Amino acid sequence: MSNNNDYRQIIKQTKEYLRYLNDIGVKEIPYEKSKVKSQKSKVKDEETNNIKPTLESIKEELGDCKRCKLHKTRTNIVFGVGNPNAKLMFVGEGPGEDEDLQAEPFVGRAGQLLTKIIEAMGLKRSDVYIANVVKCRPPENRNPEPDEISECRPFLEKQIDAIKPEIIVVLGNHAAQTLLNTASGITKIRGQFFYYKDNIKVMPTFHPSYLLRNESKKKEVWEDMQKVMAELGLKIDAKK
């Protein structure tokens, strides 16, 4: 009974206090919101106030993503890796089996070839940033489907906004078509500079996995990379 009496007493005192406030002209009770914000609130503030997002905040927003059906078969989300202030960014289409297991993009056979290309440019993987259009492995390494790309694309765009590279090399059809909003195939548009959001140069070229099946195309990719190197002011070794 004592608990009920205490409860009634609290209600009675609260009513009396509210009547007192009303009598003296106080119509609203001011309060201060907690200064401790959740990570989601911080991300929302970044978007609302146009504050440059960080890769950490984007990854936090992505969370344990279940926005499309790819989450049902993945082992890990493959977010991206490299220098958060990179001048050069590489974007592929999606993780493969090795990437899915290691949670890092381009670590399988195609990734090893990409690493060799980067090193031939006089750089290291840690100098650039590497990501994919979709963050989860499509089953059996199939192409990502339009609804999957649609759900994941905003996170890639936020990664680009956070890094602000000078040049993006898009690897293969899906990466090129996604960032350039084009239906043109990679064979038609590779080797030419385009623009992403009017200020970042984009170089489309063949995907390393394609080069593993078509070694004769490596020469064309190297020609594309030399154009990128020239734009970045990197020394070009004529012997390579």
Kind of pairing between the strands at 167-171 and 88-92: parallel
Q: Do residue 12 and residue 113 come from a single domain?
A: no
pLDDT value of residue 3: 59
**Domain count within the chain:** 2
Residue 237 lies in a domain: no
Question: Which residues sit opposite 132 in a β-bridge?
Answer: 92
Q: Do residue 133 and residue 17 come from a single domain?
A: no
Residue 41 lies in a domain: no
Strands (E), the chain: 81-82, 88-92, 129-132, 167-171, 194-196, 200-205
* Residue-range definition of the domain harbouring residue 95: 64-232
Residues 13 and 101: their CA atoms lie apart, in Å, by 62
Residue 7 lies in a domain: yes
Closest CA to 225 of 205, 210, 196, 200: 205
- pTM: predicted TM-score of the whole model, two decimal places: 0.79
Q: Do residue 228 and residue 123 come from a single domain?
A: yes
Q: Do residue 9 and residue 71 come from a single domain?
A: no
Residue 184 lies in a domain: yes
What are the tokens at 132? 């994919």
Residue 144 lies in a domain: yes
Judge whether residue 31 has pLDDT over 60. Answer: no
Q: Which long-range contacts (CB under 8 A, 24 or more apart) does 4-8 make?
A: none
Mean pLDDT of the chain: 89
What are the tokens at 237? 């070794």
Q: What is the CATH number of the domain that holds 135?
A: 3.40.470.10
pLDDT confidence of 15, banded at 50, 70, 90? confident
Q: Do residue 26 and residue 137 come from a single domain?
A: no
Q: What digits encode the pLDDT tens for the residues 184-239?
A: 999 999 999 999 998 999 999 999 999 999 999 999 999 999 999 999 999 987 66
Q: Do residue 92 and residue 2 come from a single domain?
A: no
Judge whether residue 45 has pLDDT over 60. Answer: no
pLDDT value of residue 9: 76
Q: Do residue 153 and residue 70 come from a single domain?
A: yes
Lowest-confidence segment of 7-21, 32-46, 66-80, 121-135 by average pLDDT: 32-46
- Residues with Cβ within 8 Å of 75's Cβ and at least 6 positions away in sequence, in order, are 100, 101, 103, 137
Closest CA to 65 of 53, 51, 76: 76
Q: Which residue has the higher pLDDT, 209 or 37?
A: 209
Q: Do residue 4 and residue 104 come from a single domain?
A: no
Residue 40 lies in a domain: no
pLDDT confidence of 96, banded at 50, 70, 90? very high
Residue 58 lies in a domain: no
Q: Which amino acid is at 124?
A: K
Q: Do residue 145 and residue 196 come from a single domain?
A: yes
